[in-house]
Amino acid sequence: MNRTLYHSSLTSAEHMVFKDLINSFIAEETIPVEAENLVSFRNASKEVQVLFSLEENTLIYTGALFLQLEKSYRQGVQWKEGTPVYTRQEGKWVRLDTAVQLVHVVLRSNGGEGVENFISSVEKSVEQLGLSLQHLESRQSTFPRTAYEWFIESEKRASLRDRPFHPASKAKVGFDTENYQRYMAEFGKATPLCWVAVADDCVVRGVVNDDPSCLDLLPEQERAVIEEEIAHRDIDRRKYTILPVHPWQMKQVIEPDFQKEIAQQKILPLSTKAGSYLSTSSVRSMAPFEQSENMLKLPMGVTSLGAARYLPVVKLMNGNSGERLLRQAIACDDRLKEIVYVCEETAWWGYLPASTGLFDDHPRHLSAQLRRYPQELFDKDYKLITMASLGAGEASFYFIRQLLGEKCTEEGILTFYQEVVALFYEIVMRLFKIGIVPEIHGQNCCLVLDGIQPVALLFRDHDSVRLYPPYIRKHNLDDPEYLIRPGYSNSLYNDTIEELLFYVQTLGTQVNIASIIETLSESFHLPERQLWEITEQEWQKVLREINFPDSEKVHRLLFTSEKWPVKLVIRPLLEVGGAPGAMPSGKSEGINPFHLHHKSWHLSPSSVRL
């Protein structure tokens, strides 16, 4: 390891995590920004003034922390990046330079397992992001030539930030340094898969017509080696299903935790490794090293964003239902038929013995899903990229320059952004009109480009296609009959327009679109205000063009209401509990970026109300 380069990358990682952390604390009111704890620089005491640079319009927060604030379209106010943050300890000023120091000060009155786990995740996020940034700085950049190469490169870029604005998003708890550098997408290392034979009476299958096998994904020569081992060991193919297993999962979970099943010959690990796969930004989704429209999703016991990345049968079943609903919705709208692609995810296999239930923890560690991309997206002269690859900050800079080429000018970037948001909101709101919102955060929402012209979106990962029942009934769509864990809340069925719109406002806009705005503003020095103006302009245009039910209400919720919902990221992680494997989630209230945009708003103690 180049220690000098890693130290520099670690400093950058520390800054990035610190920024997301302190802004999340502000957005979630863990740092309560109210008039009574704000003071303008000119009215601050001399003791406080000497801590900060002389700026007449600076607003200083004076609570458990002392820090400078600035206006933020995404969340109202935010930390002024690069300025010092202080606290007082035993009558002395102490500058906070690390994310872990910040967590300890802000959450010192809290305790318990959730806080300790969060502190550990923040620490690991800094460490592992540093490794990723070091690789970004040292790798030789290659220019993608094919649609498949663009897709793989976009996954690498998206992985470098993971979930935007989340301070612990890069923490993959369970990976040591070697595992992290071997299995994360940005490192681009091909991984041979392990394989197991699972007794058919313990396997549940998805709904498929052509009865595929995971062995079909292998090159003929590698498949022959596995077939030879199966024959040599007298494994009856009529009684066993052959499934791939991620090598980390095999060593860390299957071999130690499934010894009983192995002894009973319900699971037979094969010694042959076969297949060459690249991790994508979600870690557990795998793309073949050589171009193919057939990809895999495999469970991993790694914890990310507070949830283990395993793959339970109930999620796979809900994915079947969600995909069916999404396809039915697209069929209702001739325009959607032209501009939406959907991955086929109905072929899957999950370990589920008769003695276990859908919501039991143990069996969800062994399963496999075959994800089929529309073949034409790789055959034609398209570029297929994740939207997250455009919102990964520094990691997106050279990617966007490569993508736009000679059009990477201020005018060209603004035109490209306008076309992206126009397409995005047209598709999202046409689907919303029918009563559904699929996965629209940047990781599972992909752009299809013809040259540099956005022409379609591709959706994948269908186990969270959310719906508003009155709208889907109006369009004669079937109830997907999602399987919900008894006693736990669900986000799939939404009882009001506001509840369904929440996901468009938060995951779609405050995460996906806002991360692109931040990247374009910071990396290419474009006015943030102008990008939000374009966003509003295109979204309003879509609403005018679509014959929308409840249009006045939706318009008010989106553009004239002072408040917008906020998806919490830290507070839920501090609360121990929840459904195993489910990402901790919570809701709150914050500023409407479009309402703020229309106000002549200047920072002052009286103007700030989150």
596 — pLDDT class (breaks 50, 70, 90) = confident
Question: What does the pLDDT average to over 493-520?
Answer: 97
Assigned CATH class of 3-107: alpha beta
pLDDT exceeds cutoff 60 at 454: yes
Using alpha carbons only, give the angle 601, 607, 610 rounded to the nearest 5 degrees. 100
pLDDT exceeds cutoff 70 at 580: no
Residue 114: what pLDDT? 86
Residue 220: what pLDDT? 93
CATH number for region 370-595: 1.10.510.40
Residue 251: what pLDDT? 97
pLDDT exceeds cutoff 90 at 53: no
Alpha carbon distance 274, 215 (integer Å): 9
* pTM listed for this prediction: 0.95
- H/E stretch holding 236: none
The tally of CA atoms less than 13 A away on the side-chain side of residue 46 is 0
Instruction: Locate CATH 1.10.510.40 in the chain.
Output: 370-595
User: Worst-scoring range by mean pLDDT, 57-71, 218-232, 329-343, 577-591?
Assistant: 577-591
Question: What does the pLDDT average to over 464-481?
Answer: 97
Residue 147: what pLDDT? 93
Alpha carbon distance 193, 237 (integer Å): 20
For 248-274, the pLDDT digits (tens) are 999 999 999 999 999 999 999 999 999
Alpha carbon distance 172, 246 (integer Å): 15
User: Worst-scoring range by mean pLDDT, 468-477, 481-490, 525-534?
Assistant: 481-490
Question: What does the pLDDT average to over 301-313?
Answer: 92
Backbone angles phi, psi at 307, to 5 degrees: -140, 145
Alpha carbon distance 203, 356 (integer Å): 12
Alpha carbon distance 256, 337 (integer Å): 47
Residues 6+ apart with CB under 8 A from 181: 131, 135, 187, 189
Question: What does the pLDDT average to over 478-504?
Answer: 93
For 346-387, the pLDDT digits (tens) are 999 999 999 999 999 999 999 999 999 999 999 878 999 999
Structure token pair of residue 523: 């990396």
pLDDT exceeds cutoff 50 at 610: no
Residue 306: what pLDDT? 85
Residue 4: what pLDDT? 54
pLDDT exceeds cutoff 90 at 579: no
Instruction: Locate CATH 3.30.310 in the chain.
Output: 3-107
Residues 6+ apart with CB under 8 A from 374: 293, 341, 342, 343, 458
Alpha carbon distance 276, 287 (integer Å): 9
Q: What is the mean pLDDT of the chain?
A: 92
Concatenate the DSSP letters of all residues of 119-183 into one string. HHHHHHHHHHHHHHHHHHHHSPP----SHHHHHHHHHHHHHHH-STT-TTTT--BT--HHHHHHH
